[in-house]
Structure 1
């Protein structure tokens, strides 16, 4: 399983979350504590928003702990909204195109989880994309394809509904092929203005997600993380499974996340 952090709030340096904390994302790349695998060494990436509409984007296949360029960039880049990800691959080779976050236009997206039977589902899921989005696919991961499906289902206008429709479509296609759908989906995405996160699974094992405020920053500065950066239990709140999180100028909001499929498709 991968690890990631997403941040929206007062402008801060990426190093404040990516490299500096005791249990920073760099530390988690070698010794994650709430993942199936302690090591997440199959590449990393960051996407950050600044003066332009589209995000800055840097990815590589090196383990995060061994890339001095990442440390230097994190020390110099300040942003009010960014995503950072370290990868432990479950689908797709270790290539730059398969490293998160993925970017399309002003949108950025990253994911921790898995989609079972992907080798059976990939072709029918790709067929749902229009020509432009199909051509935009550069890698071979389930994560990138889920991102493009969300764009196909209207992510630009209705993020929550689009993600619910995309996940529901995957479940229905799996059922149509006689497959038992297993989706574990904890994701973060942004259009440069708002930050959205999802924690969902078709079984009882949704990948972890926590929210917390940044110490020493404005009260409306929030970070969403796969696992906390420290042992301050008062700072971090676990996001329940089956949730959609929005971080906007109005603050943080947590709503139910319900893919548009029959309730029988969701394990209880």
Structure 2
């Protein structure tokens, strides 16, 4: 399985989250505490929007272990963004190659995934045949995660992200049933169009991988008034993470089982996720 994070808020340097926290994403690539695998060394990627009005987000993906990627370290040291998605990969059987590294990108959209479609090789043909023919040429890799992304795009991700991902999940389960595959889907997903961030936590067996979001900044400042970093961030700043980046009291809230969340300007959303 994998680890990922999504950040939305006051522009910060990428290394503030990728490297500096006690349990940073790069630390999790070697010492994951809550993942299925302790080590996530099969690739790394980050996509970001800066300037925020650029038509296509920037994307860096490398096939080596995140802890040894000197190019990522240099990039993170000087790159500032108010919205980015980062991912460290542990392969579930597909090759370690750049096109299989997350985030995946289509137009302004970025997508990353932790989990798996069980027995994906058996289901892969039927799933891929359902992808919109106009989108199909853009599929570049061989992962179940990328297929999920293009199915979600096929089912309307750009117009109604919640319904599109619910339809994607329902379709995967429908195809799996036809092949006699029980409990096929395990996922936490992060997706963004550069404006809002969507997060999804779901599994067919009802035992999903971990996913948390950060507490509102006003509450964090009240709990930890001496933390200088918190003073420089806007009230809109939020983090969604596979695994908390530290043990700061009151900082993290678990996303409930079978739920989705939206980080956006104004009030965020949290609701039930139901495959269709």
TM-score (normalised: structure 1): 0.95
How far apart are 1:46 and its partner, in Å?
A: 0.3
How far apart are 1:178 and its partner, in Å?
A: 2.4
8 Å CA contact retained: 2:183, 2:205: no
Partner of 1:66: 68
8 Å CA contact retained: 2:172, 2:184: no
How far apart are 1:252 and its partner, in Å?
A: 2.2
Alignment match of 2:274 (pick from 240, 258, 262): 258
Partner of 2:126: 124
Partner of 1:223: 239
* 1:71 alignment partner, SS class: helix
Partner of 2:220: none
Partner of 1:105: 107
* 2:116 alignment partner, SS class: strand
How far apart are 1:10 and its partner, in Å?
A: 1.2
Deviations 1:107-151 (A, max 9, x none): 000000011110111000111112221111100000000000000
Q: CA 1:155–1:208 in structure 2 vs 1: closer, same or farther (change >3 Å)?
A: same
Partner of 1:148: 150
Deviations 1:17-47 (A, max 9, x none): 1111111001000000001111000000000
Deviations 1:200-225 (A, max 9, x none): 01113201001015734112100000
1:166 aligns with 2:182: no
Partner of 1:94: 96
How far apart are 1:233 and its partner, in Å?
A: 3.2
8 Å CA contact retained: 1:44, 1:87: yes
1:2 aligns with 2:13: no
1:209 aligns with 2:211: yes
Distance 1:226 1:181 in 2: 21
Distance 2:167 2:93 in 1: 22
Distance 2:65 2:175 in 1: 35
Distance 2:93 2:161 in 1: 25
Alignment match of 2:258 (pick from 242, 245, 249): 242
How far apart are 1:251 and its partner, in Å?
A: 3.4
Distance 2:67 2:161 in 1: 33
* 1:97 alignment partner, SS class: helix
* 1:251 alignment partner, SS class: coil
Deviation beyond 6 Å, 4+ runs, structure 1: none
Of residues 32-41 and 215-224 in structure 1, the stretch that sits farther from structure 2 once superposed is 215-224
Q: How many residues align?
A: 260
Distance 1:17 1:232 in 2: 14
Q: What CA RMSD, in Å, does the superposition of the two structures yield over aligned residues?
A: 1.1
Of residues 238-247 and 210-219 in structure 1, the stretch that sits farther from structure 2 once superposed is 210-219
Deviations 1:227-262 (A, max 9, x none): 1111113010011111111001013211100001xx
Partner of 1:56: 58
How far apart are 1:180 and its partner, in Å?
A: 1.5
Partner of 1:264: none
Unaligned runs of 5+ in 1: 261-268
Distance 1:168 1:201 in 2: 11
